[in-house]
Amino acid sequence: MTDHPWVLSRITLRRDATAAALAPILLPDGRHSPTPLAIGHRLIWSLFADQPERDRDFLWREIEPGRFITFSARAPRRASDLVTVDEPKLLDVTWRTGQRLAFSLRANPTVARRDGKGRRGKRHDVIMDALRPIERGKDRRTARPNLERERGLAWLSARAERCGFALETDVNGTPCTQVDGYRQHVIKRRKGRRAVLSSLDFDGLLRITAPQVFAAALCQGVGPAKAFGCGLLLVRPAPLAAE
């Protein structure tokens, strides 16, 4: 990570003839459906891959079909036949302890279960891990919304402390955070293999507890699967009504 301010950029798939010819590949489910993560990963990486051994120094998220936000140590390449890149905005902010912010996060919440020998095992989707003891069918469908919020908030709260912030709560101590948008994504790999990862969306209010740690967390991202559009913590001033 660099010690200079990072930049926010908005990126939009073009609608002209060149991009339209590739639309079945970039948006195989139609222009109103999200871009598959593996395709989004390659598309966004193409804007930053200026040398063969370049390490990833950016985070990204698709905010709606064909529209992305990146947060990066350097500006993305703006000359592209596939996308338009708005003028990057420098995020040069001095964060302070106690500052309240509205936030939005798409994350890949996982938990690692230890094997029989006490070693950390394979990572599991926290929602499916919680649903495992429940029989498939109506009981699972009924239980899932509550588990998404309960397990999702538990996962985020645990990481918030390490990332220099705390989730704001109401007078009853309930986090002022909406949890929804749970999805499972299939990522095709070489030789016909595939991986499945999940994403969960969080939108709410936070309070900064450690400004320097918080600033670093914005660049490092929250949770795994950052290469696949997860982990970018988007923040803005909290509404006046919440102050």
Same fold, 7-90 and 100-242: yes
Question: In this predicted structure, what is the pLDDT of residue 242?
Answer: 45
What contacts 155, CB < 8 A, 6 or more positions away? 107, 109, 111, 126, 223
Question: In this predicted structure, what is the pLDDT of residue 62?
Answer: 96
- Measured distance CA(176)–CA(178) in Å, rounded: 7
Nearest to 62 by CA among 93, 106, 19: 106
Q: What is the CATH topology of the domain spanning 7-90? A: Alpha-Beta Plaits (3.30.70)
CA distances from 115 to 37, 118, 132, 221 (A): 30, 5, 17, 28
- Measured distance CA(110)–CA(224) in Å, rounded: 8
Question: In this predicted structure, what is the pLDDT of residue 118?
Answer: 59
Q: Three-state secondary structure along 17-72?
A: HHHHHCHHHHCCCCCCCCCCHHHHHHHHHHCCCCCCCCCCCEEEEEEECCEEEEEE
Domain 100-242: which CATH class?
alpha beta
Question: In this predicted structure, what is the pLDDT of residue 49?
Answer: 86
Nearest to 217 by CA among 149, 178, 172, 161: 161
pTM to 2 decimals?
0.89
206 burial level (CB within 10 Å; 0-12, 13-18, 19+):
buried
Q: What is the pLDDT of residues 158-170, one digit of tens each?
A: 999 999 999 999 9
Beta-sheet strands, E only, within the chain: 7-13, 58-64, 67-72, 83-85, 89-90, 100-107, 110-114, 120-125, 165-167, 177-188, 194-208, 233-237
Question: In this predicted structure, what is the pLDDT of residue 121?
Answer: 65
Task: For the chain, report the end-to-end CA distance as a whole number of angstroms.
Answer: 33
CA distances from 69 to 11, 37, 110, 117, 177 (A): 6, 14, 23, 43, 21
Q: pLDDT tens for the chain, 243 residues: list them.
A: 456 789 999 999 988 877 778 888 888 888 788 899 999 999 999 999 887 778 899 999 999 999 999 999 999 998 888 899 999 999 999 999 999 999 999 999 998 876 666 566 678 899 888 888 887 777 777 888 889 999 999 999 999 999 999 999 999 988 999 999 999 998 877 776 788 899 999 999 999 999 999 999 999 999 999 999 999 999 999 987 544
- Measured distance CA(13)–CA(83) in Å, rounded: 4
**How many other CB atoms are there within 10 angstroms of residue 7's CB atom?**
19
Q: Where are the domains positioned within the chain? A: 7-90, 100-242
